[in-house]
Amino acid sequence: EDADLWGPFLFCLAFGASLLLSGKVHFSYIYGLATLGWLSIYGLLNLMSETGIDMYRTASVLGYCLLPMVLLSSVSILLRLRGVLGYGLGVSSILWCTYASSGIFTTVLGMKNQRILVAYPVGLLYACFALITIF
């Protein structure tokens, strides 16, 4: 029931630190994309649901479901992700993040039959994070 923002902030920081260790300085991209995506998903969810969701819970869910991207960026320290293995890991992490966050959103908002409609924009957001990681 409580929205926690320290965890998502630390996940974004760990994501940026892992990318930094792989030679990519993208802290501003990460926080800018996270903010834009958070506000967009917040607006979209409030337009789609009857009950609505608050901004903190939206940021909390999106941030905690970023963990597979943190793992992907940690793998990018050791392996080069510009190949079949990297693309496969990228797609699987996008699907994992999308599945987890869309499930939480549809459960909290009571939108049982609209999971795919929620998953599509959320998946696009996580795909942007995966693109930052791979390229």
Number of H helices, E strands in the chain: 6, 0
Rounded Cα distance between 45 and 58, Å, is 9
Mean pLDDT of 98-119: 96
Q: Which two tokens stand for residue 95?
A: 């699907």
Q: Work out the average pLDDT over 37-42.
A: 98
Average pLDDT over residues 77-86: 95
- Per-residue pLDDT band for 1 (boundaries 50, 70, 90) equals low
Token readout for 13 is 């920081």
User: So what's the pLDDT on residue 106?
Assistant: 96
Sign (positive or negative) of CA dihedral 89, 94, 97, 99: negative
pLDDT in the model for residue 3? 82
Which pLDDT band holds residue 32 (cuts at 50, 70, 90)?
A: very high
Site of tokens 């869910």: 61
Place of tokens 């903190």: 56
pTM: 0.95
- Mapped onto helix, strand or coil, the DSSP state of residue 51 is coil
Beta-carbon count within 10 A of 39 CB: 13
Helix axes 115-134, 27-48, angle to 10 degrees: 170
Average pLDDT over residues 17-28: 96
Model confidence at 12, in pLDDT bands (50, 70, 90)? very high
Token representation of residue 82: 């510009």
Q: Which of 120, 122, 64, 123 is nearest to 92 (CA)?
A: 123
Amino acid at 36: L
Does the pLDDT value for residue 52 go beyond 80? yes
Confidence of residue 112 (pLDDT cuts 50, 70, 90): confident
Q: What mean pLDDT comes out for the span 3-18?
A: 95
